[in-house]
Structure 1
Amino acid sequence: MAYSITTKDGITIDNIPDGIAPDAPELKQRVADLRASGGQPATPKPSLSNPETKAPTSGYVMGLRDPVDAGAQMLRRAVPEGVAKAIDNFGNWLSEKGLPVARSNGVEGVDQIVTDVNKQYDKQRGDAGVDVGRIAGNIVNPVNMAPGMALMRGANTLGSLALRGAAAGAMGGALQPVVDPGDDFAAKKAVQAGIGAVAGGVLTPAVSKVAERVVRGGQSASGSRVAPDIDVAMNNLFARQGINPADLNDSIRNSVRSQIDEAFRTRTRIDPAAIIRRAEFEAVGLSGDAAPTLGQVTRDPMQFAKEKNLSGINMDGQNELSARFQNQNQRLAGVFDRAGATSATDRGTAGDTLINALRQADEPVKQGVDDLYTAARNMSNGRVADLDRAAFSDAANTALDDGMLNAFVPSNVRGLLNDITAGKGPFNVESAVQIDSLLSKAQRQADRSGDSAGAFAIGKIRTALHDAPLVGSGPGAAAARSADDAGMSAAANAARTVDEGISDVPFREVPTRPELPSPGVNAVEAAKTPQFSQINSDLATAAPPAAAPIDEGQLARDAFDQARRAARNRFATIEDTPALKAALDEVAPDNFVKKFVLAADARDVAALRRVLANSPQAQEQARAQVADHLKRAAFGENPSGDKAFSADRYLKTLQSFGRQKLELFFSPDEVVRLNLAGKVASDINSIPVGARYGTNTSGTAAAAVNAITGILSKVPGGSLLGAPLNFLKNEAGTLRNQQAIRQALRAAPEQIAQPLPANVANALQLFATGSGAGGGAALAPTFE
């Protein structure tokens, strides 16, 4: 408000601005001038308003000044009048002392300074297009830069960049001066902030993405690899988790590779444990509407607890988290169904299927043995051929003496040996088969009773019996016999020393013997058999064809040997396959699957599968029984199909079953899925120790929220309490819960990402801050 003063000598000065003190130097000079002129102005009346304010000639300097001018305009309006007047007086005093501070007189004075400076600057600059210098000055001004950096910190997705860029833009727009504001300062400032927000929200994501490429390109040019080889990064990630990549199937490796590639493209660095968990979920088929949640992937205790608690809240009759957990459980059940669980019959029926298949597999083998014995017994002339008793007795006793085994020969076996030596009873091809059968039983009895030395001694006698020559065949025949035996496979020789039913040697293939001539065949026909092909060749070159004598006794002996070998191999297979032995012993089918498939060791199960090699239906049922057994371990009796997966019980069952047995029934990929099913179920259902007290496992919290929501929903909206109670309903968490559920379900890579390296993050933050604040400063008008 202007005022007037009158001196003692009657000189009056009117319209003095309120900001000029009565003893101000300019007023004293005015009074002196009036006295000198006799009370009349000697010179033109000087202006008591601000002297002409000089605007900067540099756009950059003008940009630095803009936030200061805008701040002064807003501050002058924000502070109480008493404080503002004190500030004005202080500034005017600085001006009087010769400092470059513009004089001001209230809000109008501040606005006038800003208006004068901007008009003078615009007049100097003219129409020169975009004022790049002024924009640059606005960006680097600490008033803009410091808050902008704080706003942009941590923004790394398009959404967060746009949101924070809008905030930075609004700030940049608000820090632009208003020229000639009049009475509309607040409205014009709001428009400036709004335009700045739009500009910052649009420009920040776009400029940041371009800047990212620039920064990464610069790092690559300087030799720093921001995105190294994907496979190298993947192997390093596995190494940090103590995982051998060779143990993983292609689906897991491909998932991890894809996520690492995504991390490089979105400038995020994903937590190794989280990325592997996601790959494990995908490997067992949990994707799409059954994909892992944020808490399941990160195993963050508080996030995990929040998701469990949120899943129990009724969100207008539905809850996406609850549906997600249900879908995951069903997909895990599908792992076992795809492995064959749905084809499993009841245990009794399955036992019958396997028992019948085992018997059918043994029938042709047994028939083959019977046919060989029948052919050998039909050689009437050969089976009565005598063996050399003396040669047998000498060979047997020499073997016992050399091995110091005489003391271990059982008395009944010793008596049998003495009777043969003494010439008691027949000693021919047929009786030798009977004697060998008796020795086999004695050897088996000694072995079962723990008398290994006795069993070994009997084996030496049996070897001598097998090598006993025919009478008249002499040493040459015995040598030929030994040479023939040397041509047999080692497994067959080993089997021959232990005979039926006591060998622990796995199933052996019997070497193919030449087909034996039928009894009574003539010499010419015998010569056509394979074992005599060389003889035929020799006779053809040495003399005209002649009838060669046939040693029918040797042929009969060979026939019995072949039959015995076939029998030994059959019995060895039966002994090595407990399931086959049980099937032939007429075992009950009820517990057959449990005993011979589920609880058997891997070696016995492998033997079972070999016997069933030509029984695909039985093999498939055995596989189905295993899959169903594992599914029951996971879910228990589950007629409704929606019980929760018990990871602990399943993993215990899986461990006791063993990986070797799994590999007998399932493909490598199926084995991986069966093993991962328990791990994934644990990630879904087991509560992290840090979330134990944050997770409301009883469901009481969700029940309380649902009850409150139900009560509030019944309050009429038009009643006196309706509006505030509905407000309380929202405050109870509906909107907030929906947002939290969406975040949990999204579980995007950037949500489980660790920060970028400091140098990359800082560089990108500068670009993001500049685009937000700069966009707001450039596009927000100054309003003339």
Structure 2
Amino acid sequence: MTPTRARLSLDPFDVTQEANASKLAAATGNRDARLPQIARDNNARLVGALDDMGGARPMDGYGYGSTVANTIRAQDDALQRNVGALYGQARDTQGRSASLNGQAFTARANQALDEALLGGALPPSVAQHMNRIAKGEVPFTVDYAEQLKTAIGNLQRGASDGQTRMALGVVRRALDDAPLVSAPQVNPGALPAVPGTVPPSPAAIGQQSINAFNQARQAARDRFAWQESSPVIARALEGANADTFIQQNILSKAAGYDGVARVADTINQNPAARDAVRVSIVHRLKDAAIGKGGTSQTGNFSGKGMEAALKDIGDRKLGLFFEPAEIETLKAMARTGSFETFQPRGSAVNNSNSAAGVAALVSGVADRVRPLANKLPFGQLAISNPMDSTAVWLAQRPAQNITGGLLGPRPQPPLGAGLLLPGIAIGGNAAGLLAGP
């Protein structure tokens, strides 16, 4: 950015002088004046910085939203395939036909239900299964128990009554703790064993099968927990509208930080999805800065608008998709844009003093002389144009004195100090009025 004194000092006098000088230069068509072009170039630099970060790319809401939503669905598909593979391995184990102790299971389950006063809350279908197991009417094997656990899990997720869910949980834990039936004694006479002829223990292979099913079930629980961890994930799996997916589920205030944070890792693992979110954020900031539908060539940058958009999204959410240095750059752009258009209380465009006032005087004289001078041969070239240039030069000279803007404002002598005669000021108590600042 090219600085000017007023944009560094933010002093109302400097702002007034600079605004008047720029208007005067533009009004007189003085191409040698720098202020209008400096303002134009600075505005273009701010807009261009946003374009460099993705603002120049076309905004494809449907394409970007589809990319992010499909990335989330792909992660869920991968988790589902893993669960299916683990269940397949568990079903292939030899121990899935190992017998469990049905009487011990039902006794423990009924005791736990009675102690928690939940016996009446158990769904009838589960109670019937327990009765059949206790009577030995079904082969209570590892495989049967796993199927019953799956059914209980489905009932728990679909139950709206808290006591029913608790009762089902009690039975589920009892199934997990159901003991295997003790294996019959092998080689009771302790005869020398022939290598390769002793079968593996039914209890051992049964436990291996149980462990395999537990691993598969844990993977399924992890998948369901991931699905329910964030509204963003749930909306993607439900098939939310791709056109507004990023705006509504990531950038809006309704999309809380925690929900977005839980899915950010999944999005950032896919470069295309991460890029889609970043470009969408930059476009939102650009719309706030130059107006929705504005173009880079004609838009006037509003630092205030961009600052509001940055606060609306929030530093934490920005930090999920941008590096700290990038966030600081965005904030610096917004601050600089605010300085560029700042007009403080106390400034009065077209009502200035000092050099700008002299410029206005020269300009006023030029307005009176110009009609007569232009009638003379070479009058415009020799008289009118030089007077306009002088007015512009007098006006913009202080604005380009940026050293003064970097320093603090100097204290001014009290009004009237310059009107005192030296002898009077020295002879009285007014020596301080003439003291150097």
1:430 partner letter: D
CA contact (8 A) 1:413 1:442 kept: no
1:466 and 2:176 aligned: yes
Matched, 1:419 2:128: no
String of CA shifts for 1:204-239, please: whole Å, max 9, x gaps.
xxxxxxxxxxxxxxxxxxxxxxxxxxxxxxxxxxxx
Match of 1:690 in 2: 346
Q: Match for residue 437 of structure 1?
A: 150
Deviation digits for residues 243-274 of structure 1, max 9, x if unmatched? Answer: xxxxxxxxxxxxxxxxxxxxxxxxxxxxxxxx
Q: Is the 8 A contact 2:268 2:321 kept in 1?
A: no
Structure 1 residues 638 and 419, CA gap change in structure 2 (3 angstroms): same
> 1: CA distance between counterparts of 2:111 and 2:322?
54
Q: Is the 8 A contact 1:413 1:458 kept in 2?
A: no
1:742–1:408 Cα change, 3 Å: farther
Q: Identify the residue that residue 312 of structure 1 maps to in structure 2.
A: 23
Q: 1:405, 1:457 within 8 Å by CA — same for their partners in 2? A: no
Rounded Cα–Cα distance in structure 2 between residues aligned with 1:735 and 1:627: 44
Q: Which residue of 1 aligns with 2:428?
A: none
2:281 pairs with 1:568:
no
Q: What residue number does 1:735 align with? A: 390
Contact 1:294-1:746 within 8 A present in 2 as well: yes
Q: Which residue of 1 aligns with 2:243?
A: 590
CA RMSD of aligned residues (A): 3.8
Q: CA deviation at 1:580?
A: 3.8
Asked which structure has the greater CA Rg, the reply is 1
Matched, 1:392 2:102: no
Task: Supply the AA of the counterpart residue of 2:19.
Answer: K
1:558 is aligned, of 199, 211, 218, to 211
Q: Is the 8 A contact 1:339 1:670 kept in 2?
A: no
**Equivalent pair of 2:113/2:119 in contact (CA under 8 Å):** no
- Rate the CA distance shift 1:591–1:397 in 2: closer, same or farther, 3 A: same
1:623 maps to 278
Is the CA contact 1:580–1:608 (under 8 Å) kept in the aligned structure 2? yes
The normalised TM-score by structure 2 is 0.75
Is the CA contact 1:296–1:684 (under 8 Å) kept in the aligned structure 2? yes
Distance 1:713 1:727, change over 3 A: closer
Which 5+ residue runs of structure 1 have no aligned equivalent? Answer: 1-285, 475-542, 697-701, 757-784
Structure 1 residues 382, 414: closer, same or farther in 2, change over 3 A? closer
1:57-76 equivalent positions in 2, closer than 5 A: none
Q: Is the 8 A contact 1:716 1:722 kept in 2?
A: yes
User: Compared with structure 1, are the counterparts of its residues 639 and 361 closer, same or farther at alpha carbon in structure 2 (3 Å cutoff)?
Assistant: same
The AA in structure 1 aligned to 2:278 is R
| Aligned equivalent of 1:676, options 329, 332, 341 | 332
Q: 1:752 to 1:431 in 2, by over 3 A?
A: same
- Cα distance 1:323–1:606, how it changes in 2: closer, same or farther (>3 A)? same
* Code of the aligned partner of 2:200: P
| Structure 2 residue 87 is the aligned partner of structure 1 residue 373 | yes
Residue 321 of structure 1: how far off its partner (Å): 1.5
Deviates more, 1:425-434 or 1:679-688: 425-434
Deviation at 1:413, TM superposition (A): 7.0
C-alpha change, 1:545 and 1:350, in structure 2 (3 Å) is: same
Post-superposition offset of 1:735: 2.1
SS at match of 1:439: helix
Q: 1 CA distance for matches of 2:4 and 2:19?
A: 11
1:427-458 deviation per Cα after TM superposition (whole angstroms, max 9, x unaligned): 32222222222222332234xx4x54543443
Q: 1:335 touches 1:673 (CA, 8 Å); kept in 2?
A: no
1:708: Cα distance to partner? 9.2
Partner AA of 2:74 in structure 1: Q
The question of whether the paired residues in 1 share the 8 Å contact of 2:369 and 2:384 is answered with no
Checking the alignment, whether the CA contact within 8 Å between 1:295 and 1:307 is kept in structure 2 is: yes
Alpha-carbon distance in 2 for matches of 1:632, 1:413 = 59
- Pairing of 1:89-238 with structure 2 (within 5 A): none
The answer as to whether partners of 1:344 and 1:624 remain within 8 angstroms in 2 is: no
Alpha-carbon contact 1:329-1:642 (below 8 Å) kept:
no
CA offsets, 1:50-92, max 9 Å, x none?
Answer: xxxxxxxxxxxxxxxxxxxxxxxxxxxxxxxxxxxxxxxxxxx
Q: How does 1:378-527 map to 2 (within 5 A)?
A: 378-379=92-93, 381-402=94-115, 404-406=116-118, 409-412=121-124, 415-416=127-128, 418-419=130-131, 422-423=134-135, 425-446=138-159, 449=160, 451-452=161-162, 454-472=164-182
Rounded to whole Å, the distance in 2 between the matches of 1:386 and 1:368 is 27
Deviation of the 1:337 alpha carbon: 2.6
- Corresponding position: 1:300 with 2:11: yes
Work out the CA distance in 2 between the residues paired with 1:713 and 1:453.
Answer: 95
Q: CA deviation at 1:410?
A: 4.5
Q: What secondary structure is seen at the aligned counterpart in 2 of 1:368? A: helix
Q: CA deviation at 1:707?
A: 11
- CA change 1:641–1:718 in 2 (3 A) is closer
Q: Which of 305, 311, 314 is the aligned partner of 1:658? A: 314
Could you say which residue in structure 2 is the equivalent of 1:495? none
Amino acid at match of 1:322: P
Residue 588 of structure 1 aligns to a residue in which SS? coil
Q: Is the 8 A contact 1:336 1:627 kept in 2?
A: yes
Distance of aligned partners of 1:304 and 1:465 in 2 relative to their CA distance in 1, 3 Å threshold: same
Q: CA deviation at 1:668?
A: 0.8
SS in 1 for 2:397: helix
Secondary structure of the residue aligned to 1:665 is coil
Corresponding pairs, count:
386
Tell me which residue corresponds to 1:322.
Answer: 36
Q: Distance in 2 between matches of 1:341 and 1:728?
A: 42
In structure 2, the gaps of 5 or more residues are: 185-192, 352-358, 412-437
Partner Cα separation in structure 1 for residue 304 and residue 343 of structure 2: 12
Q: Quote how far apart the aligned CAs of 1:661 are.
A: 0.9
Change (3 A) 1:751 1:345: closer
Query: Residue 549 of structure 1 corresponds to which residue in structure 2?
Result: 200
Give the AA of the match of 1:566. Answer: A
Q: CA deviation at 1:587?
A: 3.3
Structure 1 residue 555, shift from structure 2 partner:
2.3
Identity %: 30
